[in-house]
Amino acid sequence: MTLVALTGSKVVMASSNDEFEHVKAVVLSCHEVTSAEEKIKIYDTWAKNFDQDVSVLEYTAPDFAAKTVSSHFTGDRNTAMVLDVACGTGLVAKQLQSHGFGNFVGIDGSRAMLEMAKNTTLYQDLKLCMLGSQPLPFEHGVFDVVVIVGALSDGNVPAKVVRELCMVTKPGGYTCMTTRSNKDNLVYKASLEQELGTLEEQGLWRRVQVLSVDQWERAVSHHEEGYIPGVVYLYQRL
């Protein structure tokens, strides 16, 4: 490697590190606020740069979730109705589209995020809904696939919401959920898994796959380095 190339590499690395520190500050500010209203304000402000910023974080959850659904879904993907819960800017729908799915309904608590999702032209319908404080605005047994990626975590959507996700899924359909497995989220993850297990014991769905991923995204908390782990859960409605 020449000296010029090495110097250029260092410049790029420094710039990338500065970018990561900026994104890290945004994410931490979102984690630190406790009220739903304040979180929505942050997401409204963040919407235009969200895709670029999560790319800096090397956020893999949408990709792993879409691949997990795709590996088990055997129905007609052209006609399957997919509910994208906490859809954000549409990252999950884009991944699912690459696997042949094409009919999406999205909900999110941020109007600005919904505007970004609308711009993708992937969604047949988009609704404003604050998960946890408002019920899902759908009848039971409507969707072939229900996905929620990134929102099930400490300080965001309460674990009890998964019952609603289960109920709006068609019998035989799939519900795909993700959460982080890092130290800060372990208490929430345990409560989430307890809720998932309760619904299974009640005969509402069966567990199809639990996929653990070591490099979920780059760590942003002050006491973690490198990458944090995450997990994908896939259940089938009975």
Domain range for 60: 56-237
9 domain residue, yes or no:
no
pLDDT in the model for residue 2: 25
60 domain residue, yes or no:
yes
- pTM value? 0.91
Q: Which residues contact 42 (CB under 8 A, 6 or more apart)?
A: 26, 29, 30, 33
The number of distinct structural domains making up the chain is 1
230 domain residue, yes or no:
yes
28 domain residue, yes or no:
no
Per-residue model confidence as pLDDT tens digits over 60-94: 999 999 999 999 999 999 999 999 999 999 999 99
Per-residue model confidence as pLDDT tens digits over 203-220: 999 999 999 999 999 999
Cβ burial, residue 48 (10 Å; 0-12/13-18/19+): middle
Token pair for residue 208?
């199809």
Query: Chunked in runs of 10, what are the mean pLDDT values of the chain (238 residues)?
Result: 31 62 87 82 94 95 98 97 98 98 97 98 97 94 98 94 98 98 96 98 98 96 93 98
6 domain residue, yes or no:
no
123: CATH: 3.40.50.150
167 domain residue, yes or no:
yes
